[in-house]
Amino acid sequence: MGFEFVLIIIGINILYVSFFTLRLLMVIKGYRVMASILAMVEVFVYLKGLAIVLDNLDNWVNLAAYCIGWGMGVFIGSKIEEYLALGYVTLQVVVDSVDLEVPVKLREHGFGVTSWVAEGRDGHRLMMQVLTKRTNEKKLWKLINEIAPKAFVISFEAKQLKGGFWVNRLR
Protein backbone atom coordinates (compact mmCIF):
# COMPACT_ATOMS: atom_id res chain seq x y z
CA MET A 1 0.00 0.00 0.00
CA GLY A 2 2.20 2.76 -1.24
CA PHE A 3 1.99 5.54 -3.73
CA GLU A 4 -0.75 3.87 -5.79
CA PHE A 5 -2.97 3.73 -2.71
CA VAL A 6 -2.49 7.46 -2.11
CA LEU A 7 -3.47 8.16 -5.73
CA ILE A 8 -6.58 5.98 -5.32
CA ILE A 9 -7.65 7.99 -2.25
CA ILE A 10 -7.06 11.29 -4.05
CA GLY A 11 -8.91 10.05 -7.15
CA ILE A 12 -11.92 8.81 -5.19
CA ASN A 13 -12.20 12.10 -3.34
CA ILE A 14 -11.85 14.15 -6.50
CA LEU A 15 -14.67 12.11 -8.00
CA TYR A 16 -16.86 12.24 -4.89
CA VAL A 17 -16.44 15.96 -4.18
CA SER A 18 -16.89 16.86 -7.86
CA PHE A 19 -20.21 15.03 -7.81
CA PHE A 20 -21.06 16.70 -4.49
CA THR A 21 -20.30 20.17 -5.89
CA LEU A 22 -22.26 19.56 -9.08
CA ARG A 23 -25.21 18.15 -7.14
CA LEU A 24 -25.30 21.14 -4.82
CA LEU A 25 -25.20 23.58 -7.73
CA MET A 26 -27.91 21.62 -9.57
CA VAL A 27 -30.19 21.79 -6.52
CA ILE A 28 -29.61 25.55 -6.23
CA LYS A 29 -30.42 26.02 -9.94
CA GLY A 30 -33.57 23.90 -9.73
CA TYR A 31 -32.41 20.78 -11.63
CA ARG A 32 -33.88 18.38 -9.05
CA VAL A 33 -33.98 15.18 -11.12
CA MET A 34 -30.39 15.52 -12.29
CA ALA A 35 -29.31 16.38 -8.74
CA SER A 36 -31.03 13.21 -7.45
CA ILE A 37 -29.24 11.03 -10.00
CA LEU A 38 -25.90 12.63 -9.14
CA ALA A 39 -26.64 12.07 -5.43
CA MET A 40 -26.95 8.33 -5.96
CA VAL A 41 -23.58 8.12 -7.72
CA GLU A 42 -22.05 10.52 -5.20
CA VAL A 43 -23.05 8.48 -2.14
CA PHE A 44 -21.77 5.24 -3.70
CA VAL A 45 -18.35 6.78 -4.42
CA TYR A 46 -18.32 8.39 -0.96
CA LEU A 47 -19.02 5.15 0.90
CA LYS A 48 -16.40 3.23 -1.08
CA GLY A 49 -13.79 5.93 -0.48
CA LEU A 50 -14.66 6.35 3.18
CA ALA A 51 -14.35 2.61 3.77
CA ILE A 52 -10.85 2.63 2.28
CA VAL A 53 -9.74 5.61 4.36
CA LEU A 54 -11.28 4.37 7.62
CA ASP A 55 -9.52 1.03 7.19
CA ASN A 56 -6.20 2.88 6.89
CA LEU A 57 -6.38 5.77 9.37
CA ASP A 58 -3.06 4.77 10.93
CA ASN A 59 -1.14 6.47 8.11
CA TRP A 60 -1.09 10.29 8.06
CA VAL A 61 -0.25 10.22 4.33
CA ASN A 62 -3.67 8.66 3.66
CA LEU A 63 -5.36 11.48 5.58
CA ALA A 64 -3.34 14.06 3.67
CA ALA A 65 -4.34 12.37 0.40
CA TYR A 66 -7.98 12.53 1.50
CA CYS A 67 -7.69 16.27 2.18
CA ILE A 68 -5.86 16.94 -1.10
CA GLY A 69 -8.50 15.01 -3.03
CA TRP A 70 -11.27 16.94 -1.30
CA GLY A 71 -9.78 20.32 -2.24
CA MET A 72 -9.12 19.24 -5.82
CA GLY A 73 -12.67 17.87 -6.06
CA VAL A 74 -14.20 21.23 -5.11
CA PHE A 75 -12.06 22.97 -7.73
CA ILE A 76 -12.75 20.44 -10.50
CA GLY A 77 -16.49 20.26 -9.70
CA SER A 78 -16.82 24.04 -9.93
CA LYS A 79 -14.88 24.08 -13.22
CA ILE A 80 -17.20 21.40 -14.65
CA GLU A 81 -20.26 23.45 -13.66
CA GLU A 82 -18.69 26.56 -15.17
CA TYR A 83 -18.12 24.63 -18.40
CA LEU A 84 -21.72 23.34 -18.43
CA ALA A 85 -22.96 26.91 -17.76
CA LEU A 86 -26.44 25.84 -16.76
CA GLY A 87 -29.21 28.40 -16.52
CA TYR A 88 -29.64 32.04 -17.42
CA VAL A 89 -28.22 35.39 -16.40
CA THR A 90 -29.58 38.89 -16.55
CA LEU A 91 -27.20 41.74 -17.17
CA GLN A 92 -28.28 45.17 -16.05
CA VAL A 93 -26.41 47.69 -18.18
CA VAL A 94 -26.22 51.42 -17.45
CA VAL A 95 -24.82 53.65 -20.20
CA ASP A 96 -23.83 57.19 -19.25
CA SER A 97 -25.63 58.71 -22.24
CA VAL A 98 -28.97 58.06 -23.83
CA ASP A 99 -27.52 56.27 -26.85
CA LEU A 100 -30.46 54.39 -28.33
CA GLU A 101 -28.18 52.53 -30.75
CA VAL A 102 -26.79 50.31 -27.98
CA PRO A 103 -29.98 48.23 -27.51
CA VAL A 104 -30.41 47.99 -31.29
CA LYS A 105 -26.88 46.60 -31.70
CA LEU A 106 -27.42 44.08 -28.89
CA ARG A 107 -30.69 42.96 -30.49
CA GLU A 108 -28.93 42.55 -33.85
CA HIS A 109 -26.71 39.97 -32.15
CA GLY A 110 -29.77 38.03 -30.94
CA PHE A 111 -30.04 39.32 -27.38
CA GLY A 112 -33.38 40.36 -25.90
CA VAL A 113 -33.12 43.86 -24.49
CA THR A 114 -35.54 45.91 -22.45
CA SER A 115 -34.40 49.54 -22.23
CA TRP A 116 -35.56 52.74 -20.63
CA VAL A 117 -34.24 56.18 -19.74
CA ALA A 118 -33.37 56.65 -16.08
CA GLU A 119 -32.16 59.53 -13.96
CA GLY A 120 -28.65 59.24 -12.51
CA ARG A 121 -26.67 61.57 -10.29
CA ASP A 122 -25.20 63.37 -13.29
CA GLY A 123 -28.21 63.29 -15.61
CA HIS A 124 -30.05 60.90 -17.89
CA ARG A 125 -28.80 57.35 -18.36
CA LEU A 126 -29.84 54.53 -20.63
CA MET A 127 -30.79 51.47 -18.59
CA MET A 128 -30.98 48.06 -20.20
CA GLN A 129 -31.87 44.63 -18.97
CA VAL A 130 -30.53 41.76 -21.06
CA LEU A 131 -31.36 38.10 -20.49
CA THR A 132 -29.16 35.35 -21.93
CA LYS A 133 -28.13 31.77 -21.40
CA ARG A 134 -25.03 31.43 -19.24
CA THR A 135 -23.29 29.84 -22.22
CA ASN A 136 -23.59 33.23 -23.99
CA GLU A 137 -22.64 35.43 -21.04
CA LYS A 138 -19.00 35.94 -22.02
CA LYS A 139 -20.05 36.81 -25.58
CA LEU A 140 -22.50 39.39 -24.22
CA TRP A 141 -19.90 40.94 -21.90
CA LYS A 142 -17.48 41.22 -24.82
CA LEU A 143 -20.11 42.83 -27.04
CA ILE A 144 -21.09 45.35 -24.36
CA ASN A 145 -17.41 46.17 -23.89
CA GLU A 146 -17.08 46.87 -27.63
CA ILE A 147 -20.31 48.89 -27.97
CA ALA A 148 -20.24 50.80 -24.67
CA PRO A 149 -16.84 50.37 -22.96
CA LYS A 150 -17.72 52.76 -20.09
CA ALA A 151 -21.01 51.03 -19.26
CA PHE A 152 -21.74 49.97 -15.70
CA VAL A 153 -22.79 46.30 -15.78
CA ILE A 154 -24.19 44.01 -13.10
CA SER A 155 -24.82 40.30 -13.68
CA PHE A 156 -27.61 38.44 -11.86
CA GLU A 157 -28.55 34.79 -12.06
CA ALA A 158 -32.09 34.35 -13.39
CA LYS A 159 -33.68 31.35 -11.72
CA GLN A 160 -37.24 31.40 -13.05
CA LEU A 161 -38.64 32.82 -16.27
CA LYS A 162 -42.24 33.73 -17.08
CA GLY A 163 -43.64 35.62 -20.06
CA GLY A 164 -41.88 37.57 -22.76
CA PHE A 165 -40.33 36.26 -25.94
CA TRP A 166 -37.90 34.06 -23.96
CA VAL A 167 -40.67 31.72 -22.84
CA ASN A 168 -41.69 31.15 -26.47
CA ARG A 169 -38.06 30.62 -27.44
CA LEU A 170 -37.55 27.98 -24.74
CA ARG A 171 -40.45 25.89 -26.00
Span 30-34, average pLDDT: 89
**Domain extents in the chain:** 3-84, 88-158
CA triple 78-28-43, angle to 5 deg: 70
Span 107-118, average pLDDT: 92
Strands (E), 25-151: 88-95, 112-120, 123-133
Span 150-161, average pLDDT: 86
Taking the C-alpha atoms of residue 12 and residue 27, their distance in angstroms, rounded to an integer, is 22
**In the prediction, which pLDDT does 1 show?**
58
**In the prediction, which pLDDT does 168 show?**
56
**In the prediction, which pLDDT does 36 show?**
94
**In the prediction, which pLDDT does 84 show?**
83
Span 16-37, average pLDDT: 89
- Name the residue with higher pLDDT: 167 or 96: 96
pTM above 0.75, yes or no: no
Q: Reduced to 3 states, what is the DSSP secondary structure of residue 6?
A: helix
For residue 170, pLDDT over 60 is answered with no
For domain 88-158, give the CATH number. 3.30.70.120
DSSP bridge pairs for 65: none
Phi, psi of 116 (to 5 degrees): -160, 160
pLDDT digits (tens, 9 = 90+) for 53-96: 778 777 888 888 888 998 999 999 889 888 888 888 999 999 98
